[in-house]
A and B are shown apart, each in its own frame.
Chain A
Amino acid sequence: QQPVQSPQAVILREGEDAVINCSSSKALYSVHWYRQKHGEAPVFLMILLKGGEQKGHEKISASFNEKKQQSSLYLTASQLSYSGTYFCGTEAGYGNKLVFGAGTILRVKS
């Protein structure tokens, strides 16, 4: 079942922060995050495994709450280069298929 992402879209000014959420109705083994710029292929950001760990990538970090079956992606001090569509992908068990959410469109304005 497809995870639910929120919000569907968000507009920021440079320097502002944003949070993108990803929720599943199933127990999760892992959550993957990807970013896709317009007209390009998705690019990997990070994987979080169950255990509630928080991982970071530049000024982008994420957390995974396995009890709530949700993950959040945190973008701090946003830059123009952060614009794009962010997808979460969830895995119900090790080696299970990855199911992607519908995406969150992020636009950063100067």
Chain B
Amino acid sequence: NAGVTQTPKFQVLKTGQSMTLQCAQDMNHNSMYWYRQDPGMGLRLIYYSASEGTTDKGEVPNGYNVSRLNKREFSLRLESAAPSQTSVYFCASSEAWQKQYFGPGTRLTVT
């Protein structure tokens, strides 16, 4: 029982490059979330998916797209990375807005 897994753990991109962050959970949760964490700002919600087949914007969705591939997987795509997207990205899952289980995070640097 791995919980929430994320790949990759670390990534360095050049401005303008694209990439996809992968997230998977094995707890059969309906809801999945993508957050970014910057120093002094806490966790900010980028996008979430309340159930398979639905996605909604969070507080800071600009520059990102998401796909809820199936109940287990929720990916986050940066189409054209910018230095302002340098951050630590966490994926989480839960039942509705109950206790959230977080993945280990992806440290992304955009130069």
A68-110 interface bits toward B, Cβ cutoff 8 Å, 1 = contact, 0 = none: 0000000000000000000101010011111111110000000
Q: Are B102 and A43 in contact (CB under 8 A)?
A: yes
**Nearest CB to that of A93 among chain B residues?**
B97
CB distance from B33 to the nearest CB of A (A): 8
Interface size on A, as a range, is: 20 to 34
Among the listed stretches B11-19, B20-28, B40-48, B71-79, which one makes contact with chain A, having 4 or more residues with CB under 8 Å of it? Answer: B40-48
User: B residues 85-111 with Cβ under 8 Å of A?
Assistant: 90, 96-105
Number of A-B contacts (CB under 8 A): 50
Q: Are B42 and A87 in contact (CB under 8 A)?
A: yes
Q: A41-B90, A47-B99, A100-B35 are in contact. List 5 more A-B contacts (CB 8 A).
A: A43-B102, A95-B50, A96-B97, A97-B59, A101-B42
Q: Which residues of A come within 8 Å of B, CB atoms?
A: 2, 30, 32, 34, 40-44, 47, 87, 89, 91, 94-103
Q: Which residues of B come within 8 Å of A, CB atoms?
A: 35, 40-45, 48, 50, 58-59, 90, 96-105
